[in-house]
């Protein structure tokens, strides 16, 4: 027979510990977000559809983005046993300087439209975390404004080569004068990709209001309050701002960009230069031979050529081809710290997060970006401990298997 007794009040209170209520609504919702996908859910609830879809969407059928995320989900880890890792070192040296974590914030355009703090929130959060922040040519905060938000941290600048080359040259000179230490020479945007969500939403800078836009925004008065009571939304580095996203890109970008343009920018830029948007082994080797400081394997977050190669799948081949003495970074599809750990294990020196950062921004401004970084840091540290490694340098290909859903028929297009 089970012995029963009346509960003692002291024991009852000990078992029933009530959580102190959090009165700060922003902190309460951010604390409840345990993953980047949780932040995405909050962001979708708080942001008008056109702005959210610009961040969340990709080109055409959005196959490249879906495949990139699937590639990370198809990772199988191989932990070592009896290898204690009570503490882990997540720091890395990248492009001549330190980063406290193996990721930085990627360049994103139109950022203040997502949430009014925009690039200032991103740069400030990066400074606090000790990681690099990258400003886009299509940013809504100036080069000098980002420097003011992150005066002592590492700032990088992403450069598009414009039809009017002098615009690009002047931006290069300004970023160098402001102390930005690395330039991302971007090569995957000769023309705009077909971002169908944006076309359907009439997404433009400045926003074009329709009845649907207004109806969608009515339940989000906080967004309109921020939008209407802060400085005018415009590109901080460009003078022409009217039109849809595709029209703006097509007017600004130049499909004749070539190695000759890279040579000119290299002559202008005093710091490190990496080429962003590399998508095959041949180009990776050629760029190394050309003497650039590194590359970013990227299909622009799936926002340009749909069905483009998956950067994470491409990574081992590129690392093998270029050797260990060349900087290889990766972006596209990263939504978990485990994705970053897997990338480092397979040869990436560094990773960049774009949408993950913007989901945090839309969910809670600067505090939301801090939360993004905290979530990824926790996931990185936990994954490393479970693998039995104490530092990023201990990660190696043997820790990861890339499970394959799509097997090419015939010769791979990744090596030409």
- Is 29 annotated to bind ligand? no
The response to whether 184 counts as a known ligand-binding position is no
Helix (H) or strand (E) run with residue 273 in it? strand 272-278
Neighbours of 89 (CB within 10 A): 15
> Is 276 a known ligand-binding residue?
yes
- Whether 298 has a binding-site annotation, put simply, is yes
Per-residue tokens: 297: 């394997």
- Find out whether 300 is annotated in a ligand binding site: yes
Is 26 annotated as a binding-site member?
no
Q: Are 299 and 311 in contact (CB under 8 A)?
A: yes
Is 37 within any annotated ligand binding site?
A: no
Using an 8 Å Cβ cutoff, are 386 and 80 in contact? no
Q: Which two tokens stand for residue 12?
A: 């009852």
Mark whether 300 is an active-site residue.
yes
Would the annotation count 109 as a binding residue? yes
Q: Is 163 annotated as a binding residue?
A: no
* CA dist list (Å): 57 to 16, 75, 223, 319: 45, 24, 20, 29
* 197 carries a ligand binding annotation: no
Residue 108 labelled as part of a binding site: yes
* 360 has binding-site annotation: no
Q: Is 236 helix (H, G, I), strand (E, B) or coil?
A: coil
Is 229 annotated as belonging to a binding site?
A: no
Beta partners for residue 135, in sequence order:
157
User: What are the percentages of helix, strand and coil residues in the chain, rounded to 5?
Assistant: 45, 15, 40
CB 329 within 8 A of CB 352: yes
Q: Please indicate if the annotation marks 107 as binding a ligand.
A: yes
176, with CB counted inside 10 A (0-12, 13-18, 19+), is middle
Catalytic residue among 78, 152, 300, 313: 300
186 assigned binding-site residue: yes
- Cβ within 8 Å of residue 282, ≥6 positions away: 415, 416
Are the C-beta atoms of residues 323 and 77 closer than 8 Å to each other? Answer: no
Binding region for FMN: 107-109, 136, 158, 186, 276, 298, 354-355
Active site residues: 300
Binding region for glyoxylate: 54, 160, 195, 300, 303
Binding region: 54, 107-109, 136, 158, 160, 186, 195, 276, 298, 300, 303, 354-355
């Amino acid at each position: 027979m089970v012995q029963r007794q009346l509960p003692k009040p002291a024991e009852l209170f000990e078992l029933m510990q009530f959580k102190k209520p959090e009165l700060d609504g922003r902190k309460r919702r951010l604390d409840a977000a345990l993953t980047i996908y949780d932040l995405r859910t909050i962001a979708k609830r708080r942001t008008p559809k056109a702005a959210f879809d610009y961040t969340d969407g990709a080109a055409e059928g959005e196959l490249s983005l879906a495949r990139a995320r699937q590639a990370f989900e198809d990772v199988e880890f191989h932990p070592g046993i009896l290898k204690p890792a009570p503490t882990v070192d997540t720091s890395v040296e990248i492009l001549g300087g330190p980063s406290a974590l193996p990721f930085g914030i990627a360049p994103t355009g139109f950022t203040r439209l997502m949430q009014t703090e925009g690039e200032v929130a991103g740069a400030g959060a990066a400074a606090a975390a000790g990681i690099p922040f990258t400003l886009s040519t299509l940013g809504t905060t100036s080069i000098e404004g980002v420097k003011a938000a992150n005066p002592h941290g590492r700032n990088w600048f992403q450069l598009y080569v414009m039809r009017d080359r002098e615009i690009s040259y002047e931006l290069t000179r300004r970023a160098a004068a402001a102390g930005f230490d690395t330039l991302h020479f971007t090569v995957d945007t000769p023309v705009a990709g077909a971002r169908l969500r944006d076309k359907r939403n009439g997404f433009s800078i400045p926003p074009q209001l329709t009845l649907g836009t207004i109806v969608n925004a009515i339940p989000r008065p906080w967004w309109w309050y921020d939008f209407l009571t802060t400085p005018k939304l415009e590109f901080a580095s460009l003078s022409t701002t009217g039109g849809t996203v595709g029209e703006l890109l097509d007017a600004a970008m130049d499909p004749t960009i070539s190695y000759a343009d890279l040579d000119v920018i290299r002559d202008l830029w005093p710091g490190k230069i990496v080429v962003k948007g590399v998508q095959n082994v041949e180009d990776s080797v050629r760029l190394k031979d050309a003497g650039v400081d590194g590359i970013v394997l990227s299909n622009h977050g799936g926002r340009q050529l749909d069905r483009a190669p998956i950067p994470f799948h491409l990574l081992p081949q590129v690392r093998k081809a270029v050797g260990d003495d060349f900087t290889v970074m990766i972006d596209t599809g990263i939504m978990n710290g485990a994705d970053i750990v897997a990338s480092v294990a397979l040869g990436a020196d560094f990773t960049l997060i774009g949408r993950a950062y913007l989901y945090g921004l839309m969910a809670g401004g600067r505090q939301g970006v801090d939360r993004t970084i905290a979530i990824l840091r926790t996931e990185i540290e936990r994954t490393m401990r479970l693998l039995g490694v104490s530092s990023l340098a201990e990660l190696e290909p043997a820790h990861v298997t890339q499970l394959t859903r799509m097997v090419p028929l015939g010769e791979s297009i990744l090596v030409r």
